[in-house]
Amino acid sequence: MNVHLLPWDSSCNLVEAANRLYDEAGTFDCIEKNDLVAIKLHVGELGNPYYVQPVFIHEIINKVKSLGGKPFFTDSNTYYLAQRHNAYDHMVTALMNGFNMAPFIVADGLKSENFQLVKTKGVLDEIEVAGAIAQADAMIVVSHCKGHELSGFGGAIKNLGMGCTSRSGKLRQHRVVDLMVDASKCIGCGKCRKACPWGFPGIIEGKAHITSEGCMRCSLCASSCPTDAISLIGKNKLGKAIASAAFGVLSTFEPKKVSYISFAKDITEFCDCLPNPGKIMLSDVGIFSSKMPVSIDAAFLNSVNYKVFNAASNVDCMVQVQEAKTLGLKGELNPKIEIFH
């Protein structure tokens, strides 16, 4: 099966055209009457206007309801300390960013302790799948295509692997990366310690040391360092961990109960999770729909010069897609794209 693409053309009614795209692509074939349907998305960070616009989500909700499904928005709490770190603040963010047309259920609960530990394969043995995702009957994975500072690219596979897991699951993925301080570059200014939400980097004899077991590999210290003395080692392995987690997430669904929509619009350098996601990297492409996670991400990356993401993040963003294919997630690395008008 192919990936369908509606090119971004603001001279037509895009919301209406998107509805026809979903019909053509069979996006909602996975919905049956009375299904509890997770609409998995990112509600955006306050201050960052680049996330999937609620006007499109409204129509997705209506489609699910028209088929007798019971849709709810969902996302999991962040593992780092930010606006969506707990369910209360996450729900307030969702409301402020316009997601108010269906219940918003934070997938891993008030303080991210609602998850199911499931077996997976690849670089991880097991992964903590957020409870409301693991218990949903069907899922529509709605992704915003953009760059990512740690994994190079965020699309459907990252939305599954990182977005559908609890804080402990996110941490398990991030910990495949190592952090290193180059003492010859460190000037002992302490900016890294100030930037770290937990104050982990210690300054010993004028040099930073990061030894804490609690380090979350969030990279805030590295971004704040004026001399680029801190680097994350093995970032490509994070892509493999994301694919491994995505495999675990999908194992909680019956076959054919998950479908994908990706918006390649406002394609920023970095993730929606930042209040300042960097510059727009690529021109708008359009709306992709597919029943296969590997195909939908590969279709987007093959449609653009994705090497700009690699250059911005110093990581190969194809790793997560190739690893997902190796692990047996559905789809092709060179899918046929049906252009829909």
CB 45 within 8 A of CB 274: yes
CB 217 within 8 A of CB 210: no
The dihedral built from the CA positions of residue 213, 216, 217 and 222, taken in this order, carries a sign that is negative
The dihedral built from the CA positions of residue 126, 131, 136 and 138, taken in this order, carries a sign that is negative
| Site residues (CB under 6 A) for ligand SF4, limited to 144-183 | 179, 181
Q: Of 34, 100, 227, 305, which lies in the binding site for ligand SF4, with binding defined by CB under 6 A?
A: 227
CB 153 within 8 A of CB 306: yes
The nearest distance, CB 150 to ligand SF4, in angstroms, is: 10
CB 6 within 8 A of CB 290: no
Q: How far apart are CA 293 and CA 335, in angstroms?
A: 11
Tracing tokens 């499931």 back to the chain, one arrives at 118
The nearest distance, CB 30 to ligand SF4, in angstroms, is: 38
Please give the full DSSP string across 296-313, using - where no structure is assigned: HHHHHHHHTTTHHHHHHH
Give the residue with the Cβ less far from ligand SF4, 229 or 258: 229
Q: Which helix (H) or strand (E) holds 3?
A: strand 3-7
Residue 211 touches ligand SF4, criterion: CB under 6 A: no
Secondary structure letter of residue 259 according to DSSP: E
Q: Of 3, 196, 312, 324, which lies in the binding site for ligand SF4, with binding defined by CB under 6 A?
A: 196
The alpha carbon torsion through 76, 33, 58, 115 (nearest 10 deg) reads 0
Residue 188 touches ligand SF4, criterion: CB under 6 A: yes
Q: How far apart are CA 264 and CA 281, in angstroms?
A: 11
Give the residue with the Cβ less far from ligand SF4, 60 or 225: 225
Binding window for ligand SF4 (CB under 6 A); candidates: 70-78, 144-152, 193-201, 244-252: 193-201
Give the residue with the Cβ less far from ligand SF4, 200 or 306: 200
Instruction: Spell 29-56 as b/e; 16+ CB within 10 A means b.
Output: ebbeeebebbbbbbbbbeebebbbbbeb
Residue 230 touches ligand SF4, criterion: CB under 6 A: yes
Residue 217 touches ligand SF4, criterion: CB under 6 A: yes
The nearest distance, CB 177 to ligand SF4, in angstroms, is: 9
Per-residue contact track with ligand SF4, 276 to 315, x per CB under 6 A?
----------------------------------------
The nearest distance, CB 106 to ligand SF4, in angstroms, is: 23
Residue 88 touches ligand SF4, criterion: CB under 6 A: no
| Site residues (CB under 6 A) for ligand SF4, limited to 23-82 | none
Q: Of 187, 204, 211, 307, which lies in the binding site for ligand SF4, with binding defined by CB under 6 A?
A: 187
Give the residue with the Cβ less far from ligand SF4, 225 or 287: 225
Binding window for ligand SF4 (CB under 6 A); candidates: 2-10, 224-232, 295-303, 325-333: 224-232
Residues that bind ligand SF4 (CB under 6 A): 179, 181, 186-192, 195-196, 198, 200-201, 203, 208, 210, 215-221, 224-225, 227, 229-230
